Amino acid sequence: MLTDFFSLNGKAALVTGAGKGIGARIATAFAEMGADIILVARTEADLERVASDVRDLGQNAYVYPCDLTDESQIKGLVASLQKEIEGLDILVNNAGAPGKGYGSLATVDKRRFEHTLDINLSAAYSLIHHMLPLLQSPKQASIVNISSAMSWMVDSQMAAYAAAKAGLDQMTRVLAYELSPDIRVNGIAPGAIETPATAFITQDPQRLEETVRWIPQGRLGQTDDIALAALYLASSASGFVSGKILEVDGGMAALPGSAIQSRLQKS
Ligand X SMILES: NC(=O)c1ccc[n+]([C@@H]2O[C@H](COP(=O)([O-])OP(=O)(O)OC[C@H]3O[C@@H](n4cnc5c(N)ncnc54)[C@H](OP(=O)(O)O)[C@@H]3O)[C@@H](O)[C@H]2O)c1
Please report, for the chain, how many H helices and E strands are present, in that order.
Answer: 10, 7
Q: Which of residues 68-107 bind ligand X (CB under 6 A)?
A: 68-69, 94-97
Distance separating alpha carbons of residues 117 and 121, to the nearest angstrom: 5
Distance CA 176, CA 161 (A): 22
Question: Is residue 116 near ligand X by the rule CB under 6 A?
Answer: no
Cβ-Cβ contacts under 8 Å for 7 (sequence gap 6 or more): 33, 34, 235
Give min distance, CB of 152 to ligand X, in A.
11
Q: Which of 62, 161, 177, 232 is catalytic?
A: 161
Element (H, E) at 13: strand 12-16
Residues 181-210 close enough to bind ligand X by CB under 6 A: 190, 192-193, 195-198
- Cβ at position 240, least distance to ligand X in Å: 25
Taking CB under 6 A as the criterion, which residues in 217-256 touch ligand X? none
Q: How far apart are CA 135 and CA 267, in angstroms?
A: 46
Residues 22-51 that bind ligand X (CB under 6 A): 22-23, 41-43, 46
Minimum CB distance to ligand X, residue 115 (Å): 9
161 is annotated as an active-site residue: yes
Q: What is the 3-state secondary structure (H, E, C) of 185-245?
A: EEEEEECCECCHHHHHHHCCHHHHHHHHHCCCCCCCECHHHHHHHHHHHHCHHHCCCCCCE
Q: Tell me which residue has its CB nearest to ligand X.
A: 21
What is the total count of residues that contact ligand X (CB under 6 A)?
A: 30
- Which CB atom, from 42 or from 263, has the smaller least distance to ligand X? 42
Rounded Cα distance, 154 and 31, in Å: 36
State in angstroms the smallest separation of the CB of 4 from ligand X.
29
Tell the smallest beta-carbon distance from residue 224 to ligand X (Å): 13
The interface mask with ligand X, positions 145-174, x = CB under 6 A, is: -x-xx-------------------------
How far apart CA 231 and CA 246 sit, in angstroms, is: 12
Alpha-carbon distance of 51 to 61, in angstroms, equals 5
Using CB under 6 A, list all residues that contact ligand X: 16-17, 19-23, 41-43, 46, 66-69, 94-97, 119, 146, 148-149, 190, 192-193, 195-198
Catalytic residues, by residue number, are: 161
